[in-house]
Structure 1
């Protein structure tokens, strides 16, 4: 199975700001997915409703999920946090350990110095109990935090980056 994780989220109450995260084992796995009939149907639908989009290819530095594969849709307690941080590579270990109590965590960069961390939490209160701003301010003055409601998510269990 080349698809490691897919997650659709929304940031605002109206659902007009959405983030979709997809992770694949390799480029070949992505191409298989992109050529699938369901992806083609989605792409056709998305052209009608999506007003703007950005696609970022990430260089994965760390991936960690718990022992349970998740299949989530509709109302659920799970919550996601997207962190975007500008800091140098020497802070990678700090970034890998910045999140606590996650059921899944993905640390990657888009280019040297720009990091993206996606964390999945059991619920919003678990996510809120960490003071992430205080931790981030110790390593960077340039960061953003996005708190995201999860609409749909599937992932493989026990993922680790070797």
Structure 2
């Protein structure tokens, strides 16, 4: 289990449709090379929301700031950065405090097309309910991972700039695993228990492009 809080970020990227193929190709090379050559690059996930691949999400996890600097100076990232400079027309980044990370698969080296299902859930807590919601989500994630072998990965984080907002990122082996998760009695109980704690909940299905991790990462923030 990791003891130091890693660097955790989520990017929203909007691309030119004409540059999607080039962006995807160089992005794949960047992720596959980085996860192999950079021990401090712990996980990177890319995917898109729409059929054209214009709306993209990128999740990154680094051991620390120094590990990110190693990645940022790498040849593969510099190549990616050049293509992204002309492909990305709008972007925003969400810096997150990692609260819980559980993985139960070996290292991922997954490239589309894939059957894996990626789900991003954003929760906005009531002003006085952030601590209670955090405990509730962490407990629900632990139970789900223990009960569902095909729930590959779960990351839970708190938005640094907006502490009432939380992000849950999950990867399932396939759609059947995701549908089974939805029917899990503990998941239904969590949804019922959390209703009074949140003001807004948004679930986004991400079509995966490249999913890579160092494998079997675990972390829990004790603050």
Normalising by structure 2, we get a TM-score of 0.67
Give the aligned partner of residue 36 of structure 1. 74
Q: Does 1:139 align with 2:197?
A: yes
What does the per-residue CA deviation read over 1:48-83, in whole Å, with 9 as the maximum and x for residues that have no partner? 111111111111010111141110012111111111
Q: 1:26 aligns with which of 64, 67, 76?
A: 64
What does the per-residue CA deviation read over 1:79-120, in whole Å, with 9 as the maximum and x for residues that have no partner? 111111111122112212445332001001113211011111
Give the aligned partner of residue 176 of structure 2. 125
Question: Does the residue aligned with 2:94 lie in a helix, a strand or coil?
Answer: coil
Query: Equivalents in 1 of 2:139, 2:205: separation in Å?
Result: 19
Q: Does 1:104 align with 2:153?
A: yes
Q: CA RMSD in A?
A: 1.9
Question: Does the residue aligned with 2:95 lie in a helix, a strand or coil?
Answer: coil
Task: Extract unaligned runs of 5+ from structure 2.
Answer: 1-38
Question: Does the residue aligned with 1:95 lie in a helix, a strand or coil?
Answer: helix
Structure label with greater radius of gyration:
2
Normalising by structure 1, we get a TM-score of 0.91
Task: Extract unaligned runs of 5+ from structure 1.
Answer: none
Query: Equivalents in 2 of 1:138, 1:127: separation in Å?
Result: 25
Deviation, 1:138, is: 4.8
Structure with greater contact order relative to length (CA < 8 Å, sep ≥ 6) = 1
Q: Does 1:61 align with 2:104?
A: no
Question: Does the residue aligned with 1:53 lie in a helix, a strand or coil?
Answer: strand
Aligned residues, how many? Answer: 162
Deviation, 1:123, is: 1.1
Instruction: Verify the 8 A CA contact 1:65 1:160 in the aligned structure 2.
Output: yes
Q: Does 1:148 align with 2:206?
A: yes
Q: Compared with structure 1, are the counterparts of its residues 85 and 34 closer, same or farther at alpha carbon in structure 2 (3 Å cutoff)?
A: same
Instruction: Verify the 8 A CA contact 1:89 1:113 in the aligned structure 2.
Output: no
Query: Equivalents in 1 of 2:137, 2:170: separation in Å?
Result: 12
